[in-house]
Amino acid sequence: VSAWLPLPLLSVGESGAGVGWSAKGKRPKEPGENKIKPLNKKVKPKIPKLKEKESTDSSSKSQSIMTQVMDKGRFQKPAATLSLSAGQNIELRCKGNNIRWSYPSYLDTFKDSRLSIKQLDRYGQLILVNSTAADTGEYSCWLQLCHGDNCKKDESKTGSTYIFFTDKGELFVPTPNYFEIVYLHPDKPSVIPCRITIPSAKVTLHREFPAEEIKTDGTNVIYDMKRGFIYQHPTSDHKGVVYCRAESQGAPQISIKYQLLYVEVPSGPPSTTIMASSSQAEGGDNVNILCTVLGEPDIEVKFSWMYPGQESERPVTIQDSWRLINRGIGHTTRISRSVIVIEDFETSDAGNYVCVAQNSRGQTTVATSVELA
């Protein structure tokens, strides 16, 4: 009988097992008889408390505003990755009155008519029809907050999904090029972008010469089906020509080839030098001042000049140029130049010539002087 004594402690709406016990039927509890009661009391109230805490935690994180329109007017939250057969149509919606979208860039490049994006009163809509393997990629949306002309992304109102448009005839996501250059930077990971259209495909990386497979080790070389093969810590030993090989229930397929070029110059503001054709010039001479930057092959450099006759609008000629140079096999550097030419040098041209070189990582200022002889 003692095992049933804790039952009257159950709250209303739980079991009614305690009903039927009379006051006369109660007796003093023996020491240790009620040891099970604290266990019951401990477990019952903690279940709702735990759920409440989880609910609070999830509400503090951003929640996806994206839904996928299914057949017969059904909707569902898309998973982080979706696999659809090439040829299928897809419609995505994102809740909000000012929605922005991101999708594979080539759809914009070729202004593909298969893609339709509309903003309706309460949601943004993206429709892609007659999909192909080339449409494989990340599709994302976010709510744009605007105050006047100032707009910014609402980080708490976003949604995204990566869609594989599977095609057994196209295991690799097609690209408009037959050959691509990949720069290997010593201070950041480099990606060989051989992405696949079928998630289950087995993919390997191969060097063309000497012919060998490059093993992934999960540390220095890894594979990400959404990005490709990643060299986490590139070195000059990785340079050369590589390609990817994929297999999925059929004959293997080969990707395009990738030329890996190792970049000597570390990332940062431009490494700049300046040199004048002469530090002294006589009246009537022609003077050239050359500003040179050695940098990363894929980083553009912009030049600007300050010179003595600038305020009086003294006519000068400024020419900018760049080219890639090889410093040993596979070592590539971009050399950018700007030259200012002063014809018929005169007294007002004497003074300091300042070159400002700027790239995406900063700017460098150098100067030299030219005096009247």
Q: What is the per-residue pLDDT across 149-203, written as a single tens digit (0 to 9) for each?
A: 888 999 999 999 999 999 989 999 998 778 888 888 888 899 999 999 999 999 9
Collapsing DSSP to helix, strand or coil, 123 comes out as: strand
Tell which wins on pLDDT, 133 or 327: 133
Residue 137 shares a structural domain with residue 229: no
Secondary structure element (H or E) that encloses residue 271, with its range:
strand 271-276
Residue 4 domain-assigned (yes or no):
no
Q: Which of 117, 138, 166 is the last residue of a domain?
A: 166
pTM to 2 decimals? 0.61
Cα angle, residue 169 at apex, residues 167 and 172 outer, rounded to 5°:
75
Residue 70 domain-assigned (yes or no):
yes
> Is the C-alpha dihedral spanning 212, 218, 220, 222 positive or negative?
positive
Residue 58 domain-assigned (yes or no):
no
Residue 286 shares a structural domain with residue 230: no
Tell which wins on pLDDT, 183 or 130: 130
Residue 36 domain-assigned (yes or no):
no
Instruction: State yes or no: pLDDT of 308 exceeds 60.
Output: yes
Provide the b/e sequence for 196-227 (b: ≥16 CB within 10 Å): bbbeebebbbeeeeeeeebeeeeeebebebee
Residue 302 domain-assigned (yes or no):
yes
Residue 96 domain-assigned (yes or no):
yes
Alpha carbon distance, N-terminus to C-terminus of the chain: 118
Residue 60 domain-assigned (yes or no):
no
Q: Which of 166, 189, 211 is the last residue of a domain?
A: 166
Tell which wins on pLDDT, 25 or 80: 80
Residue 33 domain-assigned (yes or no):
no
Residue 234 shares a structural domain with residue 322: no
Residue 156 shares a structural domain with residue 73: yes
Q: What is the mean pLDDT of residues 92-98?
A: 95
Instruction: State yes or no: pLDDT of 268 exceeds 70.
Output: yes
Q: Which of 102, 133, 166 is the last residue of a domain?
A: 166
- What is the per-residue pLDDT across 48-66, written as a single tens digit (0 to 9) for each? 444 444 444 444 456 789 9
Cα angle, residue 75 at apex, residues 103 and 143 outer, rounded to 5°:
45
How many structural domains is the chain composed of? Answer: 3
- What is the per-residue pLDDT across 7-49, written as a single tens digit (0 to 9) for each? 444 333 343 444 444 444 455 555 544 444 444 444 444 544 4
Q: Which residue has the tokens 């339709």?
A: 116
Mean confidence (pLDDT) of the chain: 82
Residue 153 shares a structural domain with residue 206: no
Instruction: State yes or no: pLDDT of 267 exceeds 90.
Output: no
Instruction: State yes or no: pLDDT of 73 exceeds 70.
Output: yes
Domain, as residue range, for 190:
179-262
Q: What is the mean pLDDT of residues 261-274?
A: 80
pLDDT of residue 327: 61
Residue 75 belongs to domain with CATH number: 2.60.40.10
